[in-house]
Amino acid sequence: MLKTLRQDTRGLALIEFAFAAPIFLTLVLTGLELSNLALANMRVSQMAMTVADNAGRVNAGIDEANIYEVFAGAAVIAKGLDFESNGRMVLSSLEDNGRRNRGAGQMIGWQRCWGGDTSIEPAYGEEGDGRRDASLADGLGAEGRRITAAPGTAVMFVEVTYDYQPLISTGFFDPPRIRHESAFNVRGRQNNRISNTQRLAVMSC
């Protein structure tokens, strides 16, 4: 009987599969998760560049209606990310503050935000910062990569932050936070003050 059992190979493939399946499944799911993370990272980067570029292309004066349109374009790119619940986009108009000597520097002329995660705050300043002093003399951005605007013009500076939503939540690791920044000069805009001709709700930060 023991000899018969030793020579019986029925079910061997099933046993081998039972050992290999968890490893195989882990590799497949890890690959899918990494691909999804890379895609989310790329889309967040595209959102930052698109918003900064589109906001800079508004050349006949900037209005709250233009902000709605620019953020609507970002929403198209963010489709499927659940960005409105898990992310925050900050659009700042960086301008020369018009002062000279000790008070000379940059200022945030206006600032608008989109996304429901209000715990994510602007990283470099809020609307009005630098208007009366040199607190933003070096501009906006990380150390060594700061952006400044020339007198008489403006730079559209965008910060996009998104808390990645994994395909499968294991509870062992905290999902990473994705962040991208982008900046574009305005093209031909003479008046950088923002208007609200339609009296829309201001998407303030």
Task: Give pLDDT tens digits for 124-137.
Answer: 999 999 999 999 99
Are residues 95 and 149 in contact, defined by beta-carbon separation less than 8 angstroms? yes
Report CA 181 to chain centroid distance, whole Å.
7
Q: Render pLDDT for 173-187 as a digit per residue (tens, 0 to 9).
A: 788 999 999 999 999
- Supply angle C-alpha 49, 53, 59, rounded to 5: 165
Q: What is the pLDDT of residue 12?
A: 60
Predicted confidence (pLDDT) at residue 31 exceeds the cutoff of 90: no
Of 119-123, 160-164, 167-171, the poorest mean pLDDT is in 167-171
The pair of three-digit structure tokens given for residue 83, joined into one six-digit string: 């960005």
Are the beta carbons of 106 and 148 closer than 8 angstroms? yes
Residue written as tokens 């939503």?
165
Q: How far, in Å, are 49, 154, 157 from residue 185 at the CA level?
A: 12, 6, 9
* pTM for the full predicted model: 0.84
With a CB cutoff of 8 Å and minimum separation 6, the contacts of 92 are: 108, 110, 111, 122, 124, 125, 127, 140, 156, 157, 158, 159
Question: Residue 177's beta-bridge partner residues?
Answer: 163
Give the integer Cα–Cα distance in Å for 84 and 111.
Answer: 18
Place of tokens 């490893």: 23
